[in-house]
């Protein structure tokens, strides 16, 4: 078996065997196969595709390239949730305490923001003291003790994925569904959960902007999980405007607290309840999604969700006062600048990717992994798609520490929000459940 033979086979459209995939990934991870030959295989996969069996084997090989968490001795059916990312998507931080409070353990390994999408770890780390760099033993102990744990990817968790992603990023092979699916699932399944609920975004602020592409990615990831014996469920949800009203790390934490107090925006709570309900069904705490949603609503109204959030803060070293008086605890921006409507009409659409990039420019995110984030910067959306505005009405509040950057962000936001004379048709937020 040689790298050349495997590259040649895939280049010509052949189906790679399980042993070929395992050998190649193991050899590349160890350094025995160089980047240039791996890049050739990635491009062959990009051009020729992979069968469902190949994609599952690739995910398994990447998962087994490092440590696979064993959570089998922790009672209960462990269920995680994964989102493909978007603008203002802070669902995990609301969802995990709610689901854990309902009795379903939630082991969650999350990522950082890159490009126009935000990252759960960046949001959590805007809380003073909050640690996401847990060890394996700390992760297990926290999960066993309070029913949830949230951490970043460790160097020994799917190390093949880290190497492959860096190579894909510079060889124009990122947007390939088999490679995307294997990358996501290798990390999520290495964390030891028994089941996974997927939130696959589609729209202008999503990686999969077309519904058909989102559907294909959903089916591919679902097949991988099922092929590994995991419980799987997936929702395809809209990302044509920010989810909720806040965009920016500390601002999104503030919104999460309000959601757990029962004051969350309707769209954000709709997605959170839908995903959480499926997690409760998967964890055998609810008979169906309807009863699961009712359980979660009760957890919020009773304060149990907020109390579990406090437990999570304490377990991760975060300042628990965030749950009660976040303005005194979280970093606050110096300046507030308003992006105003330049004409009367209805908010018809947003270039949501451009909203995200305006946030990156302001300091909310990063283009390179070593870029420094400003946790206090961000946006508060006063108007949403379908809202009627008058000329001069505030559409977005821009919170910043660099006033000049704030003014430039205002201009970018005004350009990416379209106002029309007619009200747009209402579009379903939850588009499909698979």
| Active site amino acids | 82, 161, 168, 183, 187
Structure tokens belonging to residue 374:
């400003």
CB of 368 closer than 8 Å to CB of 324? no
Cα–Cα dist 102/126, whole Å: 27
Report the alpha-carbon distance of residue 90 to residue 199 in Å, rounded.
12
Q: CB burial class (10 A; 0-12, 13-18, 19+) of residue 366? A: middle
Let me know: does 348 contact 419? Beta carbons within 8 Å.
yes
Query: DSSP H helical segments within 49-158, as ranges?
Result: 52-63, 91-101, 120-124, 136-146
Question: HEC states along 199-222?
Answer: EEEECCCCCCCCHHHHHHHHHHHH
The distance in angstroms from the start CA to the end CA of the chain is 39
Selection from 65, 67, 66, 68 nearest residue 27 by Cα: 65
How far is the C-alpha of 214 from the C-alpha of 6, rounded, in Å?
A: 29
């Amino acid at each position: 078996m040689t790298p050349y033979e495997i590259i040649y086979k895939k280049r010509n459209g052949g189906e790679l065997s399980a042993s070929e995939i395992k050998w190649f990934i193991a050899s590349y991870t160890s350094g025995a196969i160089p980047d240039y030959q791996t890049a050739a295989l990635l491009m062959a996969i990009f051009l020729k595709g992979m069968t469902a069996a190949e994609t599952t084997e690739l995910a398994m090989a990447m998962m087994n390239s490092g440590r696979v968490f064993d959570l089998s001795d922790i009672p209960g059916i462990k269920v995680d949730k994964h989102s493909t990312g978007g603008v203002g998507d802070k669902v995990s931080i609301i969802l995990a305490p709610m689901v854990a409070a309902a009795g379903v353990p939630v082991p969650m390994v999350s990522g950082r923001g890159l490009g126009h999408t935000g990252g759960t770890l960046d949001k959590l780390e805007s809380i003073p003291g909050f640690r996401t760099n847990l060890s394996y033993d700390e992760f297990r102990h926290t999960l066993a003790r309070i029913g949830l744990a949230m951490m970043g990817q460790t160097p020994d968790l799917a190390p093949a994925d880290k190497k492959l992603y860096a190579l894909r990023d510079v060889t124009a092979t990122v947007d390939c569904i088999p490679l995307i699916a294997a990358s996501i699932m290798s990390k999520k399944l290495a964390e030891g959960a028994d089941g996974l609920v997927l939130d696959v975004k589609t729209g202008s602020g999503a990686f999969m902007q077309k519904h058909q592409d989102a559907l294909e990615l959903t089916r591919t990831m679902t097949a991988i999980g099922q092929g590994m014996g995991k419980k799987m469920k997936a929702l395809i949800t809209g990302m044509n405007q920010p989810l909720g009203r806040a965009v920016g790390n500390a601002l999104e934490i503030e919104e999460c607290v309000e959601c757990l107090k029962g004051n969350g925006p309707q769209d954000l709570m709709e997605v959170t309840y839908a995903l959480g309900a499926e997690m409760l069904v998967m964890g055998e705490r609810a008979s169906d999604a309807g009863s699961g949603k009712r359980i979660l609503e009760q957890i919020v109204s009773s304060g149990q969700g907020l109390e579990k959030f406090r437990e999570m803060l304490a377990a991760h070293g975060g300042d628990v006062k965030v749950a009660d008086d976040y303005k005194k605890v979280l970093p606050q921006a110096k300046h507030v600048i308003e992006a105003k409507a330049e004409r009367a009409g209805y908010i018809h659409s947003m270039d949501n990717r451009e909203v995200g990039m305006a946030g990156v420019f302001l300091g909310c995110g990063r283009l390179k992994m070593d870029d420094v984030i400003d946790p206090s910067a961000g946006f508060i959306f006063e108007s949403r798609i379908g809202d009627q505005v008058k000329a001069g009405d505030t559409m977005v509040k821009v919170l910043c520490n660099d006033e000049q950057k704030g003014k430039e962000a205002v201009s970018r936001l005004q350009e990416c929000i379209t106002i029309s004379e007619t009200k747009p048709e209402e579009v379903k937020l939850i588009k499909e459940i698979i």
